[in-house]
């Protein structure tokens, strides 16, 4: 509950003086007790200008994803970071994926298999 009192311009720092108390006492008849305003929840929300996605956008070239990895793989990367004296296992996984892509961009798996089969055939023909 709040007490609302109209003091007709009397500065609050001077309320304690006897002269001001004599002025205030007649005003107490105008004292009204008002209930505190309750905050109400909105019944409807306007999402027309809302945006879907992360609240904070990521910086740079990285994208946040959720991925499920085998526990052994995650444990291995964490152990590597621990043995190195600290760091970020996610960064290590990212580097491993980059290296894998670099190797396979030079020569796709199909090309690697064809090359190996050709070499084996040549080797077989020379042995006969």
List, for residues 6-26, the tens digit of each pLDDT value.
Answer: 555 555 555 556 566 666 666
pLDDT of amino acid 50: 82
With respect to residue 40, please indicate whether it lies within any of the assigned structural domains.
Answer: no
CA distance 4 to 87: 61
Number of domain units in the chain: 2
Q: Of 5-9, 51-55, 91-95, 107-111, which gets the smallest average pLDDT?
A: 5-9
Residues in Cβ contact with 8 at an 8 Å cutoff, skipping those fewer than 6 apart: 27
How many CB atoms neighbour CB 13 within 10 A? 8
With respect to residue 44, please indicate whether it lies within any of the assigned structural domains.
Answer: no
CA distance 109 to 111: 5
Q: Pick the more confident residue, 49 or 39.
A: 49
With respect to residue 107, please indicate whether it lies within any of the assigned structural domains.
Answer: yes
Q: Pick the more confident residue, 45 or 75.
A: 75
Residue pointed to by tokens 């600290």: 86
Q: Which domain holds residue 8?
A: 2-34
Task: Report how far Cα 3 is from the mean position of its chain's Cα atoms.
Answer: 44
pLDDT of amino acid 60: 77
pLDDT of amino acid 1: 40
């Amino acid at each position: 509950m709040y007490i609302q009192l109209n003091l007709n311009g009397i500065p609050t720092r001077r309320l304690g003086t006897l002269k001001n108390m004599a002025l205030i006492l007649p005003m107490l008849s105008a004292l009204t007790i008002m209930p505190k305003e309750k905050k109400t929840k909105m019944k409807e929300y306007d999402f027309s200008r809302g945006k879907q996605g992360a609240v904070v956008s990521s910086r740079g070239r990285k994208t946040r994803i959720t991925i499920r990895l085998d526990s052994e793989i995650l444990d291995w990367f964490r152990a590597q970071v621990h043995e190195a004296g600290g760091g970020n296992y996610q960064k290590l996984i990212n580097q491993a994926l980059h290296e894998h892509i670099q190797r396979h961009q030079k020569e796709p798996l199909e090309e690697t298999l064809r090359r190996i089969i050709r070499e084996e055939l040549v080797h077989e023909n020379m042995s006969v």
